[in-house]
Amino acid sequence: MPPMLPALDRAALHLTDVLPSCLAALSGSANRLELPPVERAVVVLVDGLGASSLRASAGHARHLAAKLTKRARLVSGFPTTTAVALASLTTGVSPGVHGLVGYTALVPAADAVLNQLTGWGAQMRPAEWQSQPTVFEQATATGVECTVVGAARYENSGFTEAVLRGAAYIAGKSIAERFTAARAVLDRGGRGLVYLYVPELDMAAHAFGWQSDKWRAALETVDAETHNFAENLRKGEGMLLTADHGMLDIPLTSHVLIDADPALVAGVRHVAGDPRCLQLHLEPSLGESERDALLEAWRVAEGERAWVVTRDEAIEEGWFGEVLPGIRSRIGDIMVAARKNVAYYDSRRTPVAKRTMIGQHGSWSDDELIVPLLRFGAFDR
């Protein structure tokens, strides 16, 4: 095993603590976030808003940045990618339990790598692939009204069925419309849990980078709308704002093409995961010596730029939390998690015309892993 592998801080607050703590607060119970009792709770998830990028962009988000103290942070989880993190948020369990283990993942029964956000269908059925109860299902069973407010394009997706089931979905085209819809839900009264999803920053970062004017403009909108919404929270209403992951800007010149070295792809059947966290699934016919040779080739070639570990090593180090037996084969035989500001691509599968993403995430840097946990209304104490 390579030395000094990263690991999740088990004592820290995690994304998996957010919705379970809100549900506990709605019943007046103790919880990991130490939230006080409330009648109505709102969780705003700003996709791609890392704590470091919020701090660096404080001039564009003076209301949010003012709340970003050292204690107002939590750990997203690993891999730091949307499909994994949102499933962890809404189920309250680790990737090794809910089963979404990367941006793309091997579906063993189909012998195919499918996108975990968009690849749902006969080969990957939502209720089977992600079979854990969501926090919304648990909340509904106790009489709490659950609502998701998001963009219309996600309303009937397989991913929504997999990780948001148990909640009514309300579509809002703009960030402002979504906050208005959330306020209308709160105005109905009664015990309620509202989840509001903001994808605009993530989209801007992927296309232009998190240091771009486009990203900063989206951040300014989130800051203004969050502030306006928080100013109108009433007694017994609390709000949290967090994120699924942060971002790094990776230029085209920092792309590493793995197929440029035949030794790194010999015996690799599938490449899954994220550009900053590859999951290599090997040919079943490979013998132990061939597997060892491939692992060593990766460690020699990339040992300074990435953590290269086997599936067993990753699981032993707790990278995916507890891993259920049925989930194990979804994780790559070899994992390549970037240490430096690089992204890994197989140019045979992803030609240069498709390698346009600037903002990236997926690995272990604090910029990717640490996200805000900002408190408003009854939760701000």
The residue ranges of every structural domain in the chain are: 15-100+120-249+364-377, 252-359
Give the fold, CATH level 3, of 252-359: Gyrase A; domain 2 (3.30.1360)
For the record, the structure tokens of 251 come out as 């230029």
pLDDT tens, position by position, 7-61: 999 999 999 999 999 999 999 999 999 999 999 999 999 999 999 999 999 999 9
pLDDT tens, position by position, 51-102: 999 999 999 999 999 999 999 999 999 999 999 999 999 999 999 999 999 9
Residue listed under structure tokens 């704590």:
51
- Is 171 exposed, middle or buried (CB count within 10 Å of its CB: 0-12, 13-18, 19+)? middle
Q: Return the axis-axis angle of helices 175-186 and 213-231, rounded to nearest 10°.
A: 20
pTM, two decimals, is 0.97
For the record, the structure tokens of 200 come out as 């605009």
Q: Residue 381: its pLDDT value, please?
A: 78
pLDDT tens, position by position, 182-239: 999 999 999 999 999 999 999 999 999 999 999 999 999 999 999 999 999 999 999 9
Give the fold, CATH level 3, of 15-100+120-249+364-377: Alkaline Phosphatase, subunit A (3.40.720)
pLDDT tens, position by position, 6-20: 999 999 999 999 999
| DSSP H or E run through 248 | strand 248-249
Distance CA 207, CA 168 (A): 31
Query: Are the folds of 15-100+120-249+364-377 and 252-359 the same?
Result: no
